[in-house]
Structure formats: C-alpha cells, structure tokens
Chains A and B, each alone.
Chain A
C-alpha cells in the first residue's frame, strides 16, 4: 500500500462555492466557472462575476487543452513535503478558453519543460476525496 499523501490538499476559502469543481475532478472533468448573464468564463471561482455584477453563475466543461504560459523550478519549497534537491516544476497553464490556472507538469523530465508547450489536463487522485488537475505534454 502506498504511503499516505503528505502534500498540502486544497483548502477552499468558500467550500460551498467550489464543491462542484472538486466533485468534477473526481470524475476526471475540468469545470470552469461561467456567468449565465454575460457568458464570461473565468478562473478562479468567485461569488460574483468579475466581468458584470451578476451572481447567476454556473459551470462549463473545459477542453482541458492549453499551453505552458510560464514555469519555475522550485528548489526551496514553502511546505517541507515538496522539498527535494532536484526541485519540481510549478507552472501556469493558459487554457484554450483563455484563462490561466496554476498546476504541475507531469509525464516529462523537469529540464524538458518549455514555455508554449501544448499540454492536456490529467487527473491525479491523491486521496479518496481529492483529485488534483495536472497537465502533461501532448
């Protein structure tokens, strides 16, 4: 049996708001918050649309496709569970829908990650409750 997952899990400031997002990742779906009034897609989820004053908000399934917008190899981590001599890649992905999302790049050697590389969402079940969204090169 694998050892218990020791890295930080997502701690929502508004668990009610983002519950659908984390339920969807367990089904290997990436959802984006959507405004039903002005049709804006955005990320991260908010209680009020950032484009118009609407609170009539829903969710839309994302393509899961995007590009590496930028990355940094973290050698001194904030949390000890992420500390390693070689470091790990922390990246910002620009989704095809336009918005950016922080994540990790998997399935590739850290030194081979490049800006503008095409990537697709993959889902990593880290506990029974939590599945994280990561990205791998296409």
Chain B
C-alpha cells in the first residue's frame, strides 16, 4: 500500500514570525495558528479528530486550550524535521483509520521557553567530547565543518552560497510574515556580514524567533467537499541519520539521499519533474547539500547552480519562496514546519504576490 494521494492539506494558518511576540505563550501562539488553519479550511472545530504537535507543546494541554477532544494525538520530537515528520504521521494516521481530519501545529515563544541556543548543555555527548574544545552556539559548529569540507571537496565558494541567501531575502520582501520583510539584503550584504564561525556568516544562519504555524489535513474524499484547492500528499519519505554530524562517515552527504528517493518513488515523479522546492535552511550549507542529495542538482554542483539560476519566486527554479528560515526567521520547530506550509500554500494557489508560475509539484525537505 502507498500513501500516494491518500491525504490532502486543505487549510493553513501562520502567525507572523517576529523576534519576540510580547505577552504571548507557546500554547497561545499555537492556538492562534490552529484557529487560522481551521477557519481557512472551512471546517468546524468539531470536524478535527486528530492532533499532531512538535511535542514541545504537549498535545493534551493544547487540545484542552483550543477546546478539541481528538481521537488521535501525538507529539513528534524530530528536532528540525518535526514539521515534515508530523505531516507524515498525520497522513499515516488518517490512512490507518485512526482519524480522518488532523490539525498539525507547532510554535515557539522564547520568553515562555528560555532559548537553549547559547551556553552549555547538560551532561551529554556534547558536554564530554565537544564543549571542552570550544564549540560555537547551537548547531553552528557542525554546519561550519560541513561548509569547510564542501568547499574542500567540491570547490564551493562563499559567494555562491551567499547568492542563495540573497535570493531568499528577495522572496521575503513579498512575505509580510517574514521577520526580514522590509529589510532587503544583497549578495554583497550577505558576504560582508560577520563570521560567526568561518565559513558561516551571520546572514547565512537563522535568527531564533517567535511564531507558529498550522495545517489541516484530511482524506481526499473530504477534501473534494471543501472550498480550497487541496494540496495532495503524493509521496513521503524519511531517513534517520546520525544525530551528531561528526558521527557521519561523510559529513557532506545527508540522509536526504534516501528520504527524497523514497518520497519520489511513492509519488511516481523524478527530480526533473519538480517545479519548485522548499528546503530546510537553518544554514545556507544545509539547504545546499540537501538540494544536491535530493537530485535536483548533481552532487557538488550547488555552487554553479546558484551562480547560474534565479531561485526567487519569479525565477526558473524557485526555492524557499517565502524567504525560508534564513529570511523568515526560525520560530523553533515551526521554522522547519513552515516549509511544508509554504509548499502547500503555493500548490493551493494562495501565495499572492509571490505565487510561483508553475505550482503543481513541490518537493519539501523538512
């Protein structure tokens, strides 16, 4: 059995991403995004009988807060991949007959949850083997290592990856929900931003933010009765790699090689059929290696690809059409989830001023 076309996204909701949402809580922002998504779908709250969160906001408390009592509820704790995985889990739960219509929602309020990005961790692999050697905050160290190695193996340049960040910043100027809306930045601006850890520059890494996003997903039969053009899930794939980047055999290759292959196989499409893409971009280099591993460009050719390709929403191959996380901001795990939301938004034809010309087939890497 395959899940191809067996579920469709029929409603989306997004609370604008801001540095801080004063006076708001994580559960409150999630509730707001949920209400927006339910309203967008045209369904009633009583029609929702599934709930999937990122686990940071536990489903029982959120269900009570928004006044639903679903028959399926779970928290998916898959770090940055939580949003895409939660969508996969909801699709599977719908097709396992456990629920028929699910709300997938996640969000972040940094004042509500102290930012774990700086300082030291508790006793862990990291505290014993990495921190004594002077790590950079958050995940910066590992991505600096990937970046340096990619430059060594393939001759990738900082200027080539700066073009990625610049294209995304351009897209964010048409997205009022993006934290860098109204703040254009050129490739030179990206290149001239300070190093946080070489070769990563400040504008090639995400800014921790507040915000929330939600979607409603249901059966194809129910989707046909609703007002929005549905965004069908045609394929889905997951591959769990090593959690610590330095544990990988090759750090310039990601599990997207297999997760994307599985998703495409299910869908019946090949990389050449994809019209636009939304790719997880905590750093330019991560989106870069995943785009390669997805087969959208040859391995090692991401630099020349960005040099020669307009990836803005108006371009020949649009990528991260809402600005991605680099220009949209990263509201916790909702940052990765927003790639799913934007992919669905474009397919549903709801992207307004940044609607891409061909928007039937999107590849999302969460």
Residue ranges of A at the interface with B (Cβ–Cβ < 8 Å): 7-13, 18, 44, 69-79, 82, 87-88, 90, 92, 100-104, 115-116, 132
Partner of A73, one of B123, B198, B251: B198
Structural contact, A10 and B128, CB atoms closer than 8 A: yes
A12-B120 CB under 8 A given contacts A75-B194, A79-B131, A100-B247 = no
Minimal beta-carbon separation of B245 from chain A (angstroms)? 8
A104-B145 CB under 8 A given contacts A72-B198, A78-B119 = no
Structural contact, A77 and B134, CB atoms closer than 8 A: yes
Structural contact, A11 and B136, CB atoms closer than 8 A: no
Structural contact, A76 and B247, CB atoms closer than 8 A: no
Residues of A within 8 A of B123 (CB): 11-13
A11-B128 CB under 8 A given contacts A76-B196, A102-B246 = yes
What 13 new A-B contacts, CB under 8 Å, besides A72-B148, A75-B198, A103-B133?
A7-B132, A10-B132, A12-B128, A44-B128, A44-B129, A71-B145, A72-B147, A74-B136, A74-B141, A78-B118, A92-B246, A92-B251, A100-B246
Asked if B154 CB lies within 8 Å of chain A CBs, one says: no
Structural contact, A77 and B127, CB atoms closer than 8 A: no
Asked if B124 CB lies within 8 Å of chain A CBs, one says: yes
Residues of A within 8 A of B13 (CB): none
Asked if B209 CB lies within 8 Å of chain A CBs, one says: no
Partner of B124, one of A13, A71, A103: A13
Residues of B within 8 A of A77 (CB): 134-137
Partner of A78, one of B135, B145, B152, B246: B135
Most chain A CB within a 10 A radius of its CB, from B152, B195, B199, B246: B246
Residues of A within 8 A of B149 (CB): 69-70, 115
Structural contact, A87 and B145, CB atoms closer than 8 A: no
